[in-house]
Amino acid sequence: MNIRLTANDLKSKTKINITGSKSETNRLLLLKALYPNIAIVNASNSDDSEVMNSALTSNNQIVDVHHAGTAMRFLTAYFASQENKTVTLTGSSRMKERPIKILVDALIQLGAKIEYLENDGFPPIKISGQKLNSCRVSLPANVSSQYISALLLIAPSLQNGLELELIGEITSIPYINMTLKLLNEINVETTFVNNKIVVKPLDQDPKSKTLIVESDWSSASYFYSIIALSKAGTQIELSNFKENSLQGDAILATIYEQMGVETHFNDGKITLVKTQNSIKQNIVLDLNSAPDIAQTIAVTAFGLGIGCQLTGLHTLKIKETDRLEALQIELSKLGAPISVTNDSLKIEPSKSINSNQNIATYNDHRMAMAFAPLALKKNINIENAEVVSKSYPNFWNDLKKVGFEIS
């Protein structure tokens, strides 16, 4: 489905309900599979979470996660720890290009039995569930935090828990802390000192507990972009957000102050307000801890006509697409002076935007949603717009609520 976006006059104030965090939901779904006494409220309705839930509750011997990278990593660890269960884990053609060797090697160190069915280091993989008796493992610290979280989530179910040593500079620490805090909520003891994480085994199932999932800050990022590109005084209220969030992407509230957006917290909601304040003319950020919001920030900066230098982006190369290359191609169509390296991007200030361009989405939900706010500046066409269902199925309907026209 290809769509055309226009946005001439936004409503001055709109209320939007955003579904639960995909990151929190997927972690809690795995913990619920291990400990059925857990109940989850405000779970994400994303494709990724649906895939995760379906895989955890089915008895199929072949599990296809499609484009869901989180599910691939988390399920690899989960099925490896399930004794006497044999599963083949596969995915889309892009998923078969996304590396999983570091996680598989770590699980094998713990005693897992996993074999590659096509190419070494990549899905599909055949997992023969074992009792994992070892408790010490090490892996590079600058890899996707999902490898680390996958190991941490199964750790309390292991006989001896887990001692995990991270070698080098750690990437995406907020996501690791999120995992540890969710473990703490079900009374799992953890420590994270320097580069060593220890998770104690849970000797008995946790008592019945209901966990409420905070709404997704990554999804909120697109409304930050919309407000940044709107006229002063425009407001959007978003539901179910915490000032002391577990999500690394909550740093949006601070980052977008540089682009004229204030965040007001009140009774579990946030109100985003475009102010009259001057906008910083060059945004310089290290997004090592929150790489998923890089696309939104880059597109916002271009739309505002300001410079932008983002570093700490090395994990974007192995996402749904090579996001750095995709950003360079699509922003260049619009006239952006952009350059990228393996872990950074730079956009020079530009006062003009090419209109009526077709934005390719590369099977990547964030490409579709990050570029949509530019319709406030010029008409824009989004190819394969249905890809947003991976994380935010209601996205296009919510854009209509704030005043976008979609045809």
Active site residues: 292
Name 298's bridge partners.
Answer: none
3-state secondary structure of 160: coil
The stretches of 270-320 forming alpha helices (DSSP H) are: 294-304
Backbone angles phi, psi at 260, to 5 degrees: 85, 25
Token pair recorded at residue 53:
């839930």
The answer to whether the bond into 373 is cis (omega within 30° of 0) is no
- Which distant-in-sequence residues (6+ apart) come within 8 Å of 231 by Cβ? 274
Residue at 348: amino acid letter: E
Structure tokens at 271: 């109100």
Question: Which of 347-354's residues contact partners 24+ apart within 8 Å by CB, and which partners?
Answer: 347/298, 347/301, 347/302, 347/307, 347/308, 347/309, 348/307, 349/281, 349/282, 349/305, 349/306, 349/307, 350/302, 350/305, 351/305, 353/302, 353/303, 353/377, 353/378, 354/378
Task: Tell me how far apart the alpha carbons of residues 73 and 70 are, in angstroms, rounded to a whole number.
Answer: 5
d(CA 63, CA 274): 45
Q: Is 169 helix (H, G, I), strand (E, B) or coil?
A: coil
The tally of CA atoms less than 13 A away on the side-chain side of residue 174 is 17
Burial code of 194-233, b = ≥16 C-beta within 10 A, e = fewer? Answer: eeebbbbebeeebeeeebebbbbbbbbbbbbbbbbbbeee
Query: Which H or E run includes 77?
Result: helix 69-80
